[in-house]
Amino acid sequence: MKTFFNSILSVISVVSLSGCKTETNSAPTIATENTVQYAKGFSIQNYDGYTVVTVQNPWPKATKTYTYVLKEKEGIVPDSLKQNTIISVPIKNIVVTSTTHIPSLEMLNEEKSLVGFPHLDYISSEKVRARIEAGKVKELGNNKDLNTEVVLNLQPDVIIGYGIDNNNPTLDNLQKSGLKVMLNGDWNEETPLGKAEWIKFFGALYGKQKEANELFTKIEQDYLNTIKIVKNVTYSPTILAGDMFEDRWYLPRGTSWGSLLLKEAKGNYLWQETSGTGSLSLSFEAVFEKAKKADIWITSGQFDSLKEMTEMNPHYAQFDAFQNKNVYSFSGKKGKTGGILYYELAPNRPDIVLKDIVKILHPELLPSYQTFFFEKLK
């Protein structure tokens, strides 16, 4: 499913990278088309001896495009690309800054390359936690205030950063110190398969594009097969999502990743007509008025039981879904130090999330399937 956007991007890449033929190594000849199909935030172009990774949308409304050249051992980078960040591949060690980066390393069997991460307690992966306990992954502090001394001592081949805007002086300083930094915008993708496709970004770094493509294709096929299962469903249960944080109720906007998953599972999410990809912030009264009679309630990861919910807010018990014990949460699966597995793994495995939601909404369609992330609260 090649998008129009990516087709245009391929053409633009050819034109912009070809330039004027003033030197024999100034005009690269394109070797393959962009291999990215669903993600809008990056593209991959393979040439003889090097790969160009372009990141277009690392945060909402980003105006700058970031180009990275991944150079193979005997590769020759043309003059027209030498102003960009050049990284020798395959890389041997890495620093990543979001838990959503961890599953890609693990799926590619490259978790041993991870040498540093901010807030180690957030990581749930059992393999990576074992390496943390063995002292092989260093604590780096906060994402926007990385411990530069530790990072410089580690000398990673590349640092994978992310940002909510164009303001991360720590990453800028590390780059000025000679370290290689790449931005990753997986969190800013609008579609489930678009998020998952960022495994190809990591595949390019490790010289494992073939493996990454195969892994993604399997996720894509399983995801699309689940959509086929609900194709002929005529009944769509009404859905309430999220819960209160402080004095506001946060729930996904209608064109967000989470809302799209509910829609593809043939659920009637009560705020699916809203626009935007972030979260809605509503009063309790506004939510109660619209969702008091919702069939199913999918909460955030705040609660492990119905009792915990009413201890936090007794008014939760007024919803029909609560009274009928049709409340589901992904809070049950945690790492050893409390990190919630869903936040780490779900963006990379939309095939599992979709299947879970179908099981919740239409259990008769998957009679033998056991949900992986979600469980009904008791």
Look over the chain and give the mean of its residue pLDDT values, rounded to a whole number: 91
Same domain, 363 and 216: no
What DSSP string runs through 149-180? HHHHHH--SEEEE--SSS--HHHHHHHHTT--
Q: Ranked by mean pLDDT, which of 26-35, 186-195, 198-207 comes out on top?
A: 198-207
pLDDT band for 17, please (50, 70, 90 cuts).
Answer: very low
Same domain, 102 and 250: no
Q: Residue 271 sits in which domain range?
A: 230-376
Tell me, yes or no, if the pTM score tops 0.75: yes
The total of structural domains in the chain comes to 2
Q: Which tops the pLDDT comparison, 340 or 166?
A: 340
**Where a domain ends, among 163, 197, 221?**
221
In this prediction, residues 98-113 reach a mean pLDDT of 98
Same domain, 53 and 196: yes
Residue 89 CA from chain centroid, whole number: 23
Same domain, 116 and 58: yes
**CA neighbours within 13 Å on the CB side: how many for 320?**
12
In this prediction, residues 221-237 reach a mean pLDDT of 97
pLDDT of residue 63: 86
Residue 252's CATH number: 3.40.50.1980
Same domain, 175 and 298: no
pLDDT of residue 30: 62
* Amino acid identity, position 45: Q
In this prediction, residues 239-250 reach a mean pLDDT of 96
In this prediction, residues 115-142 reach a mean pLDDT of 96
Same domain, 10 and 118: yes
pLDDT of residue 281: 96
pLDDT band for 257, please (50, 70, 90 cuts).
Answer: very high
pLDDT of residue 8: 34
Query: Torsion angle, CA of 292/297/299/304, rounded to 10 degrees?
Result: 110
What percent of the chain has pLDDT above 70? 92
**181-183 sheet: strands from edge to edge:** 138-139, 114-117, 94-96, 158-161, 181-183
Whether the predicted pLDDT of 16 surpasses 50? no
pLDDT band for 167, please (50, 70, 90 cuts).
Answer: confident
DSSP bridge partners of 279: 252
Same domain, 205 and 255: no
Q: How far apart are the first and last CA of the chain?
A: 41
Same domain, 202 and 245: no
**CA neighbours within 13 Å on the CB side: how many for 282?**
20
d(Cα 128, Cα 77) in Å, to the nearest integer?
Answer: 34
**50-55 sheet: strands from edge to edge:** 42-47, 50-55, 66-71, 85-88
Same domain, 136 and 250: no
Same domain, 234 and 207: no
Lowest mean pLDDT among 21-35, 38-52, 180-194: 21-35
Whether the predicted pLDDT of 211 surpasses 80? yes
Whether the predicted pLDDT of 48 surpasses 90? yes
Whether the predicted pLDDT of 23 surpasses 50? no
pLDDT of residue 60: 82
Whether the predicted pLDDT of 107 surpasses 90? yes
Whether the predicted pLDDT of 242 surpasses 50? yes
Helix, strand or coil, per DSSP, at residue 130: helix
pLDDT of residue 14: 34
Same domain, 217 and 235: no
Q: Which tops the pLDDT comparison, 315 or 57?
A: 315
Whether the predicted pLDDT of 90 surpasses 60? yes
Whether the predicted pLDDT of 277 surpasses 90? no
**Where a domain ends, among 187, 221, 255?**
221
Same domain, 67 and 183: yes
**Where a domain ends, among 202, 221, 240?**
221
Kind and range of the H or E run holding 302: none
